[in-house]
Amino acid sequence: MQGYIMLHRKIVNWEWYTETNTKALFIHLLLMANHADEKWRGEIIKRGTLITSYGSLSAQTGLSVQQIRTCLKNLEKTGDITRQATQRNTLIIVTKYDFYQSFINESTNESTDFQQTDNTPINKPTNKQSTTNNNDNKLNIYSPVSDDADLSVSENIPYVEIIDHLNSVAGTHYKSNSSKTKTKIHARWLEGYRKEDFFTVIDVKCSEWLGNEMEKYLRPETLFGSKFEGYLNQVRKKEKDPYGSMPYV
């Protein structure tokens, strides 16, 4: 990652400045947000916006998932960000990114959001303000999460449904309360994957491996390990080209 962001000194008067975790996360969001519109999977991710997940933010900042949740709620409450949740990730919009990342004419009396007593929305930058910066940031969506992640963090993860589906399709007898199994599922869940992704990987790898020497690898530590994303993308490619493996007639 290259480039820079601007940070006005008046941030010391911002209402969250003395709340260390919220301040740290907000500055991280400014660093990670797109400095220009980016196309991703057929959609435009606009300037001042980023796609991420609780797990990615936790891994990048060193804050726990619960601390990330609290900080995002704080920032959302005061209008510093807005969020749009999906099944796999979260779209975060830094609401006044253009204002924060503009060259401000200090001779004007224009106020900023970095004030304790006035949360009035800021107007859009005037034509005296440049809205460019030297941030060459690219999307950083799925940062790997350690498989040793804290299982005490409640994420309402459907361990039972996922393992029941594996046992049903593969004819296995794994237990959903096994700590080894739960850590793998938990780590992938924190990376933003959801139940349908686990089901898809199970279905396709069972179709590919059942009845041959690879059948022994139809187990949670293999299916839900570090190659999970690769298995999922492999599946999607097959879905787009179902006849790709058939010989031409």
Amino acid 61: pLDDT: 92
What are the boundaries of each domain within the chain? Answer: 1-143, 159-240
Which one has a higher pLDDT value, 131 or 73?
A: 73
Backbone φ and ψ for 9, nearest 5 degrees, come out as: -65, -20
Identify which of 67, 47, 43 has the alpha carbon closest to the alpha carbon of residue 57: 67
| The pLDDT value given to residue 43 | 67
Q: What is the pLDDT of residues 152-190, one digit of tens each?
A: 554 689 999 999 999 999 999 999 999 989 999 998 888
Q: Would you identify the CATH topology of the domain 1-143?
A: Arc Repressor Mutant, subunit A (1.10.10)
Q: What is the pLDDT of residue 36?
A: 73
For residue 198, count other CB atoms closer than 10 A to its CB.
26
Residue with the larger pLDDT of the pair 45 and 186: 186
Most trustworthy range by pLDDT among 55-59, 98-102, 238-242: 55-59
CA distance 191 to 176: 20
